[in-house]
């Protein structure tokens, strides 16, 4: 952690934040504060350059046009790329999976260059994937099933440098090879809205522990467990 206060970057909430994805930053801040760790959210809008000095970054999903504006901004101000190169954790949801890749193709067949933080590419599926998504994580440090809500047209293929986040139990996910999300260095990306960190506290603490560079004391939050149980059941 760079300073005594954990600084959580909420990247482009003005154009990327479908289904309350901005809530991921709130969850990180609250789970830090409940452990006595001072934390604040730094909003980075289209009016701001993207700083490379924050401790953890979150990006949400976006509709197609907003996704383009975000892509252009992240190309113009490459602070997120520098932060990821320095090992800072990044959480990228849905449209952000696509933007962080090499390119994504729109439903109209146009190929839009991404920012190549992830070795992935995205092409349109025949049909939009909409509904509950349940997966089993395959990365070190996560063992509990993940749940989220997906709504996307893109199907994402992973190159050799990117590993899947999870295997799909029900729902679509990446729409390629039965896997979901992409992980590369400190970047974790997923099609799961929810917000995903509200539904999956283990993932939230995984990012938080990387950001603070230390293990975290457990939190006993029965209401979070109730939400998990309910949402996992909804996926079947
Ligand atoms: N526009 C992208 C797609 O449809 C991402 C959608 C989203 O972020 N919800 O694939």
Q: What are the pLDDT digits (tens) for 162-184?
A: 999 999 999 999 999 999 999 99
Strand partners, 150: 131
Cβ atoms within 10 Å, residue 183: 21
What are the C-alpha distances in Å from 35 to residues 6, 78, 96, 220? 12, 32, 29, 11
Question: How much distance in Å is there from the Cα of 54 to the middle of ligand 1?
Answer: 26
What DSSP element (H or E) covers 225?
helix 222-234
pLDDT at residue 31 is higher than 70 = yes
Indicate the domain borders of the chain. 6-235
Q: What's the average model confidence in pLDDT over 39-47?
A: 98
Ligand 1 atom, smallest distance to 151 CA = 9
Alpha carbons 64 and 99: distance in angstroms, whole number: 11
Distance of CA 64 to the CA centre of its chain: 17
Q: Is 6-235 in CATH node 3.40.50.880?
A: yes
Residue with CA closest to ligand 1 atom 5: 95
Q: Are strands 39-44 and 182-184 parallel, antiparallel or unpaired?
A: unpaired
What are the C-alpha distances in Å from 181 to residues 173, 175, 214? 7, 10, 25
pLDDT at residue 227 is higher than 90 = yes
Ligand 1 atom, smallest distance to 19 CA = 9
Ligand 1 atom, smallest distance to 61 CA = 8
Ligand 1 atom, smallest distance to 64 CA = 1
What DSSP element (H or E) covers 196?
helix 196-199
Banded model confidence at residue 69, pLDDT cuts 50, 70, 90: very high
Q: Which has more pLDDT, 107 or 180?
A: 180
Alpha carbons 146 and 9: distance in angstroms, whole number: 23
Alpha carbons 233 and 236: distance in angstroms, whole number: 6
What DSSP element (H or E) covers 73?
helix 64-76
Question: How much distance in Å is there from the Cα of 98 to the middle of ligand 1?
Answer: 8
Banded model confidence at residue 235, pLDDT cuts 50, 70, 90: confident
Question: How much distance in Å is there from the Cα of 148 to the middle of ligand 1?
Answer: 14
Cβ atoms within 10 Å, residue 54: 24
The ligand 1 site (C-beta within 6 Å) comprises 18, 61-64, 67, 94-95, 151-154
Whole-structure pTM value = 0.97
**CB of 22 closer than 8 Å to CB of 62:** no
Alpha carbons 98 and 154: distance in angstroms, whole number: 8
């Amino acid at each position: 952690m760079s300073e005594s206060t954990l600084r959580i970057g909420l990247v482009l909430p003005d154009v990327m934040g479908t289904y309350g994805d901005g809530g991921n930053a709130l969850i990180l801040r609250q789970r830090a504060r409940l452990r006595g760790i001072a934390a604040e959210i730094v909003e980075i809008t289209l009016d701001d350059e993207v700083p490379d000095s924050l401790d953890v970054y979150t990006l949400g999903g976006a509709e197609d046009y907003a996704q383009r504006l975000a892509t252009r901004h992240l190309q113009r101000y490459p602070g997120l790329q520098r932060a990821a190169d320095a090992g800072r954790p990044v959480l990228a949801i849905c449209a952000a999976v696509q933007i962080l890749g090499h390119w994504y193709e729109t439903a109209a067949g146009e190929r839009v260059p991404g920012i190549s933080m992830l070795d992935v590419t995205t092409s349109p599926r025949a049909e939009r994937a909409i509904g509950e998504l349940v997966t089993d994580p395959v990365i070190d440090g996560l063992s509990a099933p993940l749940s989220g809500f997906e709504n996307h047209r893109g199907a994402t293929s992973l190159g050799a440098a990117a590993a899947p986040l999870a295997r799909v139990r029900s729902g679509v996910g990446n729409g390629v090879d039965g896997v979901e999300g992409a992980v590369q260095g400190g970047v974790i990306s997923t099609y799961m809205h929810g917000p995903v960190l509200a539904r999956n506290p283990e993932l939230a603490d995984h990012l938080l522990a990387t950001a603070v560079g230390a293990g975290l004391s457990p939190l006993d939050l029965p209401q979070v467990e109730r939400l998990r149980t309910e949402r996992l059941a909804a996926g079947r």
